[in-house]
Amino acid sequence: MKDWYPHKGVDVYVPDPTWPLHRNLAELSGFKWKNYRYYNPKTKGLDFEGMKADLKAAPKNSIFLFHVCAHNPTGVDPTPAQWNDFLDIVKTNNLFCGFDSAYQGFASGDLEKDSYSLRLFAEHTDNIMLFQSFAKNFGIYGERAGCFSVVTDSPA
């Protein structure tokens, strides 16, 4: 992927903690990865201020990986208002966002509600990609079923 991404010298930022595969995928794609603050073990909740600070501090055009819902491994998700704040920073810094969706419907029991973050970003930015797994939703956990989608304003 690094060969096709038009902005050179940027890194992929992954939440701390995240599923180990995310770091490996960044490396396999030719990128270095960095953690961004996500989970606060003291409050057992989202490190909202830390995450905002890390989004703001990242160089323009950096790539951020988000979990659409049911963050793995913490289960902690931003509120809609917090997602709106993150979107503002993403737009200001022209960040490219990758969304991992493996548990849609598992966080709230509602497929629409659980896709809030992805729909919000798709409506307001055109620099996103989606890694969507259906293995859990379809009850075929040992299989690999899903899709990869990219939304961008550039044909290049």
Looking at the domain assignment, is residue 86 inside a domain? Answer: yes
Q: Which helix (H) or strand (E) holds 146?
A: strand 146-152
Burial of 80 (0-12, 13-18, 19+ CB in 10 A): exposed
Among the listed residues 34, 107, 135, 136, the single catalytic one is: 136
- 85 a catalytic residue: no
Number of domains in the chain: 1
Per-residue confidence (pLDDT) for residue 134, from 0 to 100: 59
Give the DSSP H/E element, type plus range, for residue 89.
helix 80-92
Q: Given 47, 54, 77, 100, which residue is catalytic?
A: 100
Tell me, yes or no, whether 113 lies in a domain: yes
Q: Is the pLDDT of residue 57 over 70?
A: yes
Catalogue the long-range contacts made by 116-124 (C-beta closer than 8 Å, 24 or more residues apart). Answer: 116/69, 116/80, 116/83, 117/66, 117/68, 117/69, 117/78, 117/83, 118/68, 120/80, 120/83, 120/84, 120/87, 121/87, 121/90, 121/97, 122/151, 124/87, 124/91
Say whether pLDDT at 105 is over 80: no
User: What percent of the chain lies above the pLDDT cut of 90?
Assistant: 54
Residue 5 lies in a domain: no
Residue 70 falls inside a structural domain:
yes
Is 19 catalytic? The answer is yes
- Residue 91 in any domain: the answer is yes
Backbone phi, then psi, for 97, in 5-degree steps? -115, 130
Mean pLDDT over each residue of the chain, to the nearest integer: 87
- Per-residue pLDDT tens digits for 112-132: 898 999 999 999 998 888 777
Does the pLDDT of residue 143 top 80, yes or no? no
Is 60 labeled as catalytic in the residue annotation?
Answer: no
Q: Is residue 1 part of a domain?
A: no
Of the residues 16, 19, 107, 135, only one is catalytic, namely 19
Active-site residue flag, 16: no
**Rounded-to-integer distance, Cα 153 and Cα 124, Å:** 12
Close Cβ partners of 92 (under 8 Å, ≥ 6 residues apart): none
Distance CA 40, CA 141 (A): 29
Active-site option among 26, 70, 102, 114: 102
- Supply the range of the domain harboring residue 56: 12-152
Classify residue 126: in a domain, yes or no.
yes
The answer to whether residue 133 sits within a structural domain is: yes
CATH number of residue 121's parent domain = 3.40.640.10
